[in-house]
Amino acid sequence: MSKVKVEGLNFSYNQKRMILKNINLEISKGEWVAILGHNGSGKSTLAKAIVGLLEPQDGHVYIDDLLLTEESSYDIRKKIGIVFQNPDNQFVGVTVRDDIAFGMENLCFTREEMLEAIDFFSTKVGVDTFLEKEPATLSGGQKQRVAIAGILAMQTQIIIFDEATSMLDPYAREDLMKYIKKLHEEGLTIIMITHDIEEALLADRLIVLKEGEIFLDGTREVVLAQADKIKEANLELPISLRLANLLDEESNKDWKESLWAYTLEK
């Protein structure tokens, strides 16, 4: 059973330009997939289509083998959550506690269930010390964590991170990536949308979008080895690999291997 399946997805906002063209992909349980692409390649659009915020012109999305339709979107959203780019524009509650509760309130959890979940997940995510705080007093990284707690509290097993680190400073970014790694180790399925190849290196599988189409799809090793295609997709390899590619295959084999190991050990 796949967790997320996309079949033949086409999407356009205004019939003039196709943002997504014939997208086909399948993501299994527990996988960590990074979806990379230059600005305008359709990455965020794909993320929104997968959670049903956008309706495609053609194609189907299946979450846990359940077809995504307007009727089923309520149930589907119990299984998949999305953390957006702007930490401020997804924080609904007046306090941290309110915000974590928001999703559960929509699912009609009882008060006892909500309090228990908030207690558990806020501790898990590390925001339990400031449940009464208002969002204006929190940092971007803290707000993103609150968003994660709210999603986990709904018992979701799949989380999409839509450029969730791009508005954070490098330290908060590193922190959040470490936390995502932890979530992955606990068995969650992670879909990470990013334009930063360094971040994408943490995932098992890389999907590269180019002008709305899937251009590359494979493991890190397979995708990163295709230097020409990466360049064609308007992405830049990490410095370690760019250096490795300048080295000769035979005479500097061990150097190249070392550089590759360095790249992948993150």
Partner 1 sequence: MGIHFREVSHEYASYQVGDYQAINKITLSIEDENEFICLVGHTGSGKSTLAQHMNALIFPTEGEVEINGKVITKKRDKKVNYNLLRKHVGLVFQFPEYQLFEETVEKDIMFGPMNFKVSLEDAKIRAAEAIRLVGLNESYLRRNPFNLSGGEKKRVSIAGILAMDPDILVLDEPTSGLDPFGKRQLMELFQNIQKETKKSIIIITHDMDLVYEFANRVIVLNDGDLVYDGNEEDLFRKDELTTWALGLPETIKVLRRLKEQFHLDINPYQKTVDLAFEELKKVMNK
Partner 2 sequence: MKNIVIGQFVPGTGFFYKLDPRTKIVSIVFLMIALFLLENITQLLIAFGLAVVMLIIGRLSIKRIVRGLKPIFVLLIFTFLFQIMFNQEGTLLVNQQMSLSYTSIAGILVITVVWRYLAHFKRFNFFLFLVWVAGVYFLLIYFHFGPTFAPFSLKVYQKGVEMSIFVVIRLLIIITLSTVLTITTKPTDLTQGLEKLLRPMKVIGMNSEDFALIISISLRYIPTILDEANKIMLAQASRGADFSEGKLKDKVKQVISLLVPMFIIAFKRSEDLADAMESRNFIPGKPRTRIYELKFNWNDLMTSIFTAACFALAIVLRVI
Residue positions annotated with a catalytic role = 163
Please choose which of partner 1, partner 2, none residue 262 contacts, taking the beta carbon within 5 to 8 angstroms, the exact cut-off set by kind.
Answer: partner 1
Q: How far is the CB of 90 from partner 2 (least distance, A)?
A: 4
Q: Please report, as ranges, the residues that interact with partner 1 according to CB under 8 A.
A: 38-40, 136-137, 139, 166-167, 169-172, 195, 197, 234-236, 238-240, 242-243, 246-247, 251-252, 254-255, 258-259, 262
Q: Which residues bind partner 2 (CB under 8 A)?
A: 48, 51, 53, 74, 77-78, 81-82, 84, 86, 88-94, 97-98, 101-111, 114-115, 118, 134-137, 150-151, 154
Residue 236 binding target from partner 2, partner 1, none, CB below 5 to 8 Å by type: partner 1
- CA of residue 156 relative to chain centroid, distance: 14
Q: Which is nearer to partner 1, 38 or 181 (CB)?
A: 38
8 vs 40, beta carbon nearer partner 1:
40
| Listed residue (16, 18, 27) closest to 50, CA to CA | 27
Q: Which residue, 60 or 242, has its beta carbon nearer to partner 1?
A: 242
Task: Give the nearest distance from C-beta 62 to partner 1 in angstroms.
Answer: 32
Q: Which is nearer to partner 2, 141 or 150 (CB)?
A: 150
